[in-house]
A and B are shown apart, each in its own frame.
Chain A
Amino acid sequence: MAHLAPYPGMPKHMEPMGFPGERVENWQQKGVEKLGELLKKYRSLQVYLDICVKCGACTDKCHYYLGTQDANNMPVQRAELMRSVYRRYFTPAGKMFPGLVNAVDFDEETLQKWFTYFHQCSQCRRCSVFCPFGIDTAEITMAAREIMNAIGVGHKYSVEIIGKVHQIGNNLGIPKPALKGTLEFLEEEILDSTGHDVRLPLDQPGADVLLVAPSADFFSEPHIQSLMGYAKVFHQAGISFTISSYASEAANFGMFIGSYEHQKKIAKRVVEQARDLKVKRLVVGECGHAWRVAYSFWNTLNGPLDFLDPRYPAPQHICEFTHDLLQRGALSLDKEANDNYRVTFHDSCNVARATRMGPKAGGQFEIPRDLIRASCNHFVDMDEDTIHEKTFCCGGGGGLLTDELMDLRIRGALPRVTALKRVMESDKVNFMALICAICKAQFSKVLPMYGISMDVVGGVHQLVSNAIQLGAKKGVV
Chain B
Amino acid sequence: MLTFLAYFVATIFLIGFLSRIFVYARSPAPLKIPTTPAPTTRLGVIWRLVTEVVFFNSLFKSDKLAWAGGLAFHATLAVVLIRHARYFVDPMPAFVGPLQIIGIVAGVVMAAALAFLLLRRLVFERVRYISSRADYGILFLLLGIAFSGLLMDFVLRPNIVAIKTQLMTMWSSVTGLPPVNSAGDVMFLLHLLLVGALLVIFPFSKLMHAGGLFFSPTRNQVDNPREKRHVAPWAKALD
Chain A interfacial positions (CB closer than 8 Å to B): 39-44, 46-48, 50-61, 71, 74, 76-77, 80, 91-93, 99-102, 125, 128-136, 139, 260-261, 264, 295-297, 299-300, 303-304, 313-315, 352-356, 359-362, 364-365, 389-390
Contact = CB atoms under 8 A, between A and B. Distances in A.
Interface string B159-196: 00000000000000000000000000000000000000
Given A55-B63, A299-B226, A355-B36, A43 B127 contact: no
A100 B23 CA distance: 25
A43 B27 contact: yes
B229 A42 contact: no
Nearest to B69: A55
Contact of A134 (B29, B216, B223): B216
A129 B225 contact: no
Nearest to B59: A132
Contacts of B133: 99-102
B208 A50 contact: yes
B38 A361 contact: yes
8 contacts: A57-B62, A59-B127, A71-B126, A102-B132, A295-B226, A300-B31, A300-B231, A389-B36
B8 to A, nearest CB: 16
A300 B225 contact: yes
B66 to A, nearest CB: 5
B234 to A, nearest CB: 6
Given A50-B208, A60-B126, A41 B28 contact: yes
B33 A136 contact: yes
B227 interface: yes
Contacts of A51: 206, 208-209, 212-213, 216
Interface in B17-70: 20, 23-24, 27-33, 35-40, 44, 52, 56, 58-59, 61-63, 66, 70
A329 B218 CA distance: 37
Contacts of B24: 43, 46-47
B7 to A, nearest CB: 20
Contacts of B56: 132
A61 B58 CA distance: 13
A364 B124 CA distance: 36
Given A41-B234, A134-B216, A129 B58 contact: yes
Nearest to B219: A134
Nearest to A77: B130
A292 B96 CA distance: 51
Given A132-B52, A136-B33, A314-B226, A55 B59 contact: yes
A5 to B, nearest CB: 22
Nearest to A138: B33
Nearest to A364: B36
B209 A53 contact: yes
Contacts of A304: 229
A54 B30 contact: no
Given A56-B124, A361-B39, A47 B212 contact: yes
Nearest to A139: B33
Contacts of A42: 27-30
A355 B66 CA distance: 29
Contacts of A389: 35-37
B32 A300 contact: yes
A365 B36 CA distance: 11
Contacts of A91: 204
